[in-house]
Amino acid sequence: EDYSRHRSDHKINHLGCRVFSREEKKYVNRFWKEIHVGDFVRLRCNEIFPADILLLSSSDPDGLCHIETANLDGETNLKRRQVVRGFSELVSEFNPLTFTSVIECEKPNNDLSRFRGCIIHDNGKKAGLYKENLLLRGCTLRNTDAVVGIVIYAGHETK
């Protein structure tokens, strides 16, 4: 049993995703095990979220995306998520290099039904953060071409 768990963990840790590299100033391929809090991640339709991610940008013009949570709760109905207030109004593509907001959120916990926090934009305005802004590790992006978000919880700290 321990060996099968080890193999499963190894497989998951070596799944790939696109993470923004500040050094290269572009999105690069990284393993899930290399993802840290504060990383910007770009995902495409049908990809699985590698960490708990705050939704900052969506290809949807209304700042929405849809996720499937079957891996977490067995539900096959899609759930709608919303870009954080203050970012859905961006007309150009989200640029991680210009991100200057400060994020404050609750400590990691396993309550899937709740998430609270706030984001303080560089102009001093605050916006609340809620579960509708959060993309949970293990969920799958559906019916949306692409999203970008920032990792809030990674590894063992994910909900």
Q: What is the pLDDT of residue 87?
A: 77
> Would you kindly state where each structural domain of the chain is located, as residue ranges?
2-157
Contact 136, 112 (CB under 8 A): yes
Q: What is the pLDDT of residue 57?
A: 94
How would you class 110 by CB atoms within 10 Å of its CB: exposed for 0-12, middle for 13-18, buried for 19 or more?
Answer: exposed
Return per-residue pLDDT of the chain as tens, 159 residues: 787 776 777 677 778 899 999 999 999 999 999 999 999 999 999 999 999 999 999 999 999 999 999 988 888 899 999 999 887 666 567 899 999 999 999 999 988 889 999 999 888 999 999 999 999 999 999 999 999 999 999 988 888
What gap in Å lies between CA 117 and CA 74, rounded to an integer? 27
**Fold (CATH) for 2-157:** 2.70.150
pTM for the whole structure: 0.91
Q: What is the pLDDT of residue 89?
A: 66
What gap in Å lies between CA 63 and CA 147, rounded to an integer? 9
